[in-house]
Amino acid sequence: MKNLIIVESPTKAKTISKYFGSRFKVIASMGHIRDLPEKELGIDIENHFKPKYVVLEKKRKILQELKKEAADAETIFLAADADREGEAICWHIASELGGKDMHRLLFHEITKEKLEEALAHPTKIDMQKVDAQQARRLLDRLVGYKVSPLLGNKVQRGLSAGRVQSVSLRLIVERELEIEAFVPEEYWTITALLSKNGQELSAKLTEKNGKKIKIQNKEETEAILSELSGKDFVVQKVTKKLKKRSPSSPFITSKLQQEAFSKLGFAAKKTMSIAQQLYEGIDVGGDPVGLITYMRTDSVRVSDEAVAEARVWIEEGFSKEYLSEKQRVFTNKNKAQDAHEAVRPTSCGRNPEGIKGHLTADQFKLYNLVFKKFVSSQMADAKIMAEEVEIACGDYTFSGNGSTLLFDGYLKVWTYDLEKDKVIPELSTKDILSLIELSPKQNFTVAVPRYTEGTLIKCLEENGIGRPSTYAAIVSVIFNRSYVEKDEGKIKPTELGKTVWGLLQESFPELFEVKFTARMEEDLDKIEEGEKKWLEILDQFWGPFSLALSEAKIKMRNIKKEAEKPTDIVCDKCGANMVIKPGRFGEFLACPNFPKCRNTRALKEEKRVPPEETDKICPKCSSALVIRTGRTGRFIACKGYPKCKYTEPILKIPCPRCKEGILIFRTSKRGSFYGCSKYPNCDYTTRGEFLEETCPHCKKNLIKYKE
């Protein structure tokens, strides 16, 4: 009997199989095998929020295979990712397999050494992590399944709200409102281009009589230029200072996503997808190997072995001069979980350039970024000579600066932040500089910028919203729902996004408050740490939420109704005048009697014809009668619609059966038809459409039948 290892990914299974050969059977669950049901809430709120887990339809065959392999296995190891989601996957698998004792394998990099180490020290499923994941899942389901239908009823079908996604939308909408409310202010700058011995220096006007100056308009600018005219530019002060720039820590998830966006142009979702590939294993010449450590982490901690390897790589690749004086140790933020190391290469021996041929272009770019960030974190500081110059011209002071890189240090590897030297002339106090030109420039203050994916993730992280495993999904979902869009690389809310957030803000002011969402994340962390119980968190949440939900169902504005536009187009199923409604794909025609009548029609197909005046009077209300045009042709109707709904056929065709009634347009479940006005005494019907055009032989109205 073989030992069985169950992982969640086929790539991960393939990599681990290569290491262990025939010793283990390694199979993949393809992610979660169980979840809450798709088409119902799946939470028994009255029974202590008991979740109803069901096997996913597309995972039934996989579960059968897992059960078959488990029945023949001597020992079963559950080896999903070492986070809450991975722990939950293991728990669901164990619950379905039952019976046999199962072991949990924990590792943060997929290398033979770390896998052997994990096998030597198996653990049990961490139920506190499972509880934290379950609490998050139930909270998200309650918000999603209770609030989303409300938006569907009040705005349009297909919309969703989410405990975290809606807070992200809030940040974007509020930033946009801030930008829209911003009033630019005019200001001017004056720049002097100076020189000494042929070397140029640019300096900006900064002070007058030792006080900071603000030039507000063209008139003030011209007055200053007049004062400066003919005066010498004299060096007043020269300051030189040696500055050191230190490398930052290896990547945590959010910083990886931010840097990949700014340096490589990768969206967060793309970054995490490629990082997953690098973690699970790439064939780099014979065997697949995990190239980076686990990519969902908020810890900057690095193992001593990895640091030692990096320092050897630096000294051998460059020189001891490029090595930091002592091992750099970075400190985590207070709320970091520290379950995993920082994102780093699993071995410095796999230089990006050396394995470039085995990677796709995007895999190489991201691996190169991770590799350089980690290695540079143990390198020496860069040394820069910074110079600041103050230059007097009458009562005014101009300031200039320059910088020269003396020693590149960590920038030798982390070249992304390498800047060009800004060389200025060698200056001494009382030097008189030659003026080449004075350049006045009109400027306007600018509003805060819109978020990019990178800056949005940074904002989420700083506010404690979401966790490393959720950032990419949060950004993706608000794009998928058409709540936001890209405008020159920046995230801009759509009108739909603004509308949705406005309604949510009015109805659920606390639920989607930034600080409240951050506290919920802290509560989930406390569940994992054993400080709180998941049921306690659900209880505290449900009370206020259910009250707000009940009130929202009554008080939330009905945007659908507000946006409806009346038309003179008649519903061919029930005879009501149709209305124009906004939809996900544009405006369309719909019957106002929904849900009793569900008739809809594409707006672009309709050519709305204005009503024609007649000399007839409505027998019901004495208003004028007009000729309107519907899908079935022209008909006579009261001009006072909708107050008066009187109609009559324009063609008063006698019933061919009873000879007493006239044929009128009717609808039924089976469609539209013409029937005798004397019904039920006469049940004559015809499916044809009567035309105003008459037969040239018998002079009766022609009938058009559908093909």
Predicted local confidence at residue 657, as pLDDT: 86
Residue 707, pLDDT above cutoff 70: no
Q: Across the strands, what pairs with 565?
A: 580
Work out the average pLDDT over 448-472.
92
Query: Among all residues, which ones are annotated catalytic?
Result: 294
Predicted local confidence at residue 100, as pLDDT: 77
pLDDT digits (tens, 9 = 90+) for 349-371: 999 999 999 999 999 999 999 99
Q: Report whether 322 contacts 380 (CB < 8 A).
A: yes
Predicted local confidence at residue 41, as pLDDT: 96
299 and 360: one domain? yes
34 and 110: one domain? yes
Helix (H) and strand (E) counts in the chain: 17, 32
How does the average pLDDT of the chain come out, rounded? Answer: 91
pLDDT digits (tens, 9 = 90+) for 22-32: 889 999 999 99
Asked whether residue 584 is assigned to any structural domain, the reply reads: no
Residue 217, pLDDT above cutoff 90: yes
Work out the average pLDDT over 298-311.
93
Dihedral angle sign, alpha carbons of residues 526, 528, 534, 538: positive
Work out the average pLDDT over 316-335.
90
Residue 6 — very low, low, confident or very high, per pLDDT cuts 50/70/90? very high
Lowest mean pLDDT among 52-61, 76-85, 604-613: 604-613
Whichever domain contains 27, its CATH number is: 3.40.50.140
Distances (CA, A) of 343 to 178, 295, 310, 314: 36, 6, 14, 19
Whichever domain contains 206, its CATH number is: 2.70.20.10
Distances (CA, A) of 243 to 322, 325, 384, 387: 17, 17, 5, 10
Predicted local confidence at residue 686, as pLDDT: 82
Residue 651, pLDDT above cutoff 80: no
Work out the average pLDDT over 663-674.
70
For strands 577-583 and 565-570, give the pairing. Answer: antiparallel
453 and 527: one domain? yes
Residue 663, pLDDT above cutoff 90: no
Distances (CA, A) of 119 to 3, 76, 129, 644: 11, 11, 21, 81
Q: Which residue, 392, 421, 444, sits at the end of a domain?
A: 444
Predicted local confidence at residue 671, as pLDDT: 66
Work out the average pLDDT over 555-577.
87
Distances (CA, A) of 425 to 347, 391, 641: 46, 13, 85
Residue 613 — very low, low, confident or very high, per pLDDT cuts 50/70/90? confident
267 and 368: one domain? yes
Residue 508 — very low, low, confident or very high, per pLDDT cuts 50/70/90? very high
Q: Report whether 440 contacts 190 (CB < 8 A).
A: yes
267 and 334: one domain? yes
Work out the average pLDDT over 168-177.
97
Dihedral angle sign, alpha carbons of residues 264, 268, 270, 275: positive
- Name the residue type at position 335: K
Q: Which residue, 424, 444, 464, sits at the end of a domain?
A: 444
* Residue-wise burial string across 386-422, b where 16 or more C-beta atoms lie within 10 A, e elsewhere: ebebbbbbbebbbebebbebeebbbbbbbeeeeeeee
Predicted local confidence at residue 662, as pLDDT: 82
297 and 356: one domain? yes
Asked whether residue 613 is assigned to any structural domain, the reply reads: no
Asked whether residue 625 is assigned to any structural domain, the reply reads: no
HSE value, Cβ hemisphere, 13 Å, CA-based, for 32: 17
3-state secondary structure of 389: strand
264 and 228: one domain? no
Residue 605 — very low, low, confident or very high, per pLDDT cuts 50/70/90? low
459 and 481: one domain? yes
479 and 537: one domain? yes
Asked whether residue 313 is assigned to any structural domain, the reply reads: yes
- Give the start-end residues of each E strand in 603-686: 612-617, 624-630, 633-638, 647-649, 663-668, 671-676, 685-686
Whichever domain contains 465, its CATH number is: 1.10.460.10
HSE value, Cβ hemisphere, 13 Å, CA-based, for 2: 15
Alpha helix segments (H runs only) across 333-379: 361-376
Residue 706, pLDDT above cutoff 60: no
174 and 225: one domain? no
Asked whether residue 563 is assigned to any structural domain, the reply reads: no
Read off the pTM.
0.77
Predicted local confidence at residue 424, as pLDDT: 93
Locate 282 and state its tokens: 């790439």
Predicted local confidence at residue 678, as pLDDT: 83
239 and 311: one domain? no
Predicted local confidence at residue 346, as pLDDT: 95
Q: Domain tally for the chain? A: 5
Residue 252, pLDDT above cutoff 60: yes
Asked whether residue 599 is assigned to any structural domain, the reply reads: no
Rounded-to-integer distance, Cα 25 and Cα 3, Å:
6
167 and 141: one domain? yes
Contacts 24+ apart (CB under 8 A), 518-525: 518/463, 518/464, 518/465, 520/139, 520/163, 521/464, 521/465, 521/466, 521/467, 522/335, 522/464, 523/135, 524/132, 524/135, 524/136, 525/132, 525/335, 525/337
For the chain, what is the largest distance between any 2 Cα atoms, rounded to a whole number of angstroms? 117
* Number of neighbours of residue 627 by Cβ within 10 angstroms: 15
**Residue 162's domain spans which residues?**
136-181+449-555
Higher pLDDT, 57 or 606: 57
Asked whether residue 454 is assigned to any structural domain, the reply reads: yes
For helices 534-555 and 495-507, the axis angle rounded to 10 degrees is 110
Rounded-to-integer distance, Cα 81 and Cα 605, Å:
53
- Name the residue type at position 18: K
Residue 670 — very low, low, confident or very high, per pLDDT cuts 50/70/90? low
Lowest mean pLDDT among 168-182, 234-248, 659-673: 659-673
Q: Which residue, 329, 349, 376, sits at the end of a domain?
A: 376
Asked whether residue 566 is assigned to any structural domain, the reply reads: no
Predicted local confidence at residue 667, as pLDDT: 64
Predicted local confidence at residue 282, as pLDDT: 93
- Give the start-end residues of each E strand in 101-198: 102-104, 186-196
Predicted local confidence at residue 467, as pLDDT: 83
Residue 594, pLDDT above cutoff 90: no
Locate 274 and state its tokens: 């490629």
DSSP letter (8 states) at residue 653: P
